[in-house]
């Protein structure tokens, strides 16, 4: 009888691969921004080929072709990292269904993102498609973050660590952060950095939509301050208080970059930093969301009655 060959995957390696997937997805957002900010969005004018006769950039395409093709190559790096994480989740023992599904969702999301990227090129960088492309990136970060967090959690049910009103405030903060990102996409679609000189804009008045975006940022910061104070007042776990404080600091830094870029006529370097900041704000928001609950190991003593008693205690 032949013995099956096993490749043991440690929990540490799996968690590191999950973290690498988060970093890779942030990186592709930043490099994608560099493509747009350098006017290289149509450096490769078609997809999946770079030109009608070549899958790679040619010398005639110049630096814009190199930049756009380079970003396409980085997509393969993101796919490889996500695929390695999925393989690790499949090989890890005991295999955990939730971890495998989350890892698979990251791979699927990247494939969808690549297709949308191709549509973006074929639609000549239409701002609506570009915006969808960025929003999908944020959803991918959500999936990658959930995957990473689950690798460090047991498989038991999630229990709230703060009272219901605080969890409602957390939900409002997450919603405000999402709204800031979506409206920020509209601001970008009205501005000068189209990715190509001939790309159309969304027709919105830049000053008006920027004001709406700023108002939502003020709302988000206000909610974050209230959340931080509320978590301290109810004696929330230190990790939750720290997560709220980090979120607030990241928001303030992002706000400074946003205001400076607006009043200095949107220099490319600051716009790129603002795109990175958007990813960091979103990740910090997700950290707060995860910090107000915890999963516990499944044990024989964790009966439904005990779980209900714990829920009543927290919701009080």
- Which tens digits make up the pLDDT trace of 18-28? 999 999 999 99
Residue 42 and residue 91 share a domain: yes
The per-residue pLDDT for 194 is: 64
Question: How many structural domains are present in the chain?
Answer: 2
Instruction: Name the residue with higher pLDDT: 29 or 38.
Output: 29
Structural domain for 134, as ranges:
8-152
Residues 196 and 308 in one domain: yes
Q: Looking at the domain assignment, is residue 291 inside a domain?
A: yes
Q: Which of 128, 152, 176 delimits the end of a domain?
A: 152
Domain end among 124, 152, 180: 152
114 and 171 both lie in a single domain? no
Q: Are residues 206 and 80 in the same domain?
A: no
Judgement on whether residues 99 and 175 belong to the same structural domain of the protein: no
For residue 49, pLDDT over 80 is answered with: no
Indicate if 206 and 232 belong to the same structural domain.
yes
pLDDT at position 61: 73
| 78 close to 140: Cβ distance less than 8 angstroms | no
Structure-block tokens of residue 3: 């013995």
24 and 55 share one domain: yes
pLDDT at 228 over 80: yes
pLDDT reported for residue 102: 97
Which pLDDT belongs to residue 55?
A: 74
> 108 with 238, same domain?
no
Same domain, 163 and 76: no
Q: What is the token pair recorded at 119? A: 């549509």
Distance CA 99, CA 153 (A): 10
Average pLDDT, the chain: 87
- Overall average pLDDT of the 264-275 stretch: 87
Specify whether 142 is located in the same domain as 221.
no
> Do 268 and 162 fall within a single domain?
yes
Q: Could you tell me if 278 and 213 are in contact, meaning their C-beta atoms sit under 8 angstroms apart?
A: no
Note whether 116 and 133 are within 8 A (CB): yes
Residues 164 and 308 in one domain: yes
Q: Rounded to an integer, what is the distance from CA 260 to the centroid of its chain?
A: 24
Selection from 252, 240, 254 nearest residue 287 by Cα: 240
In a domain, 214, yes or no: yes
């Amino acid at each position: 009888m032949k013995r099956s060959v096993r490749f043991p995957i440690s929990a540490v390696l799996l968690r590191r691969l999950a973290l690498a997937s988060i970093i890779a997805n942030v990186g592709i957002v930043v490099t994608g921004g560099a493509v747009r900010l350098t006017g290289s969005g149509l450096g490769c004018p078609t997809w999946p080929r770079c030109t009608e006769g070549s899958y790679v950039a040619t010398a005639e395409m110049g630096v814009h072709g190199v930049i756009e093709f380079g970003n396409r190559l980085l997509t393969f790096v993101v796919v490889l990292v996500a695929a390695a994480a999925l393989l690790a989740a499949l090989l890890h023992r005991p295999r955990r269904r939730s971890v495998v599904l989350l890892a698979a969702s990251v791979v699927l999301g990247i494939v969808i993102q690549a297709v949308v990227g191709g549509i973006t090129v074929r639609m000549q960088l239409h701002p609506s498609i570009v915006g969808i492309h960025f929003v999908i990136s944020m959803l991918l970060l959500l999936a990658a973050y959930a995957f990473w967090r689950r690798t460090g959690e047991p498989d038991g049910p999630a229990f709230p660590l703060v009272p219901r009103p605080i969890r409602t405030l957390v939900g409002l903060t997450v919603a405000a952060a999402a709204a800031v990102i979506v409206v920020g996409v509209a601001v970008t679609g009205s501005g000068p950095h189209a990715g190509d000189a001939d790309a159309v804009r969304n027709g919105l008045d830049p000053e008006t939509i920027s004001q709406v975006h700023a108002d939502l940022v003020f709302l988000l910061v206000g909610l974050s301050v209230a959340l931080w104070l509320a978590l301290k007042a109810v004696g929330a776990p230190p990790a939750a208080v720290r997560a709220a404080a980090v979120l607030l600091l990241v928001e303030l830094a992002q706000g400074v970059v946003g205001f400076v870029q607006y009043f200095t006529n949107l220099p490319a370097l600051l716009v790129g930093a603002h795109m990175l900041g958007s990813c960091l704000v979103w990740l910090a928001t997700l950290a707060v969301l995860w910090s107000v609950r915890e999963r516990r190991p499944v044990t024989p003593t964790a009966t439904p009655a005990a779980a209900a008693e714990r829920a009543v205690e927290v919701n009080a």
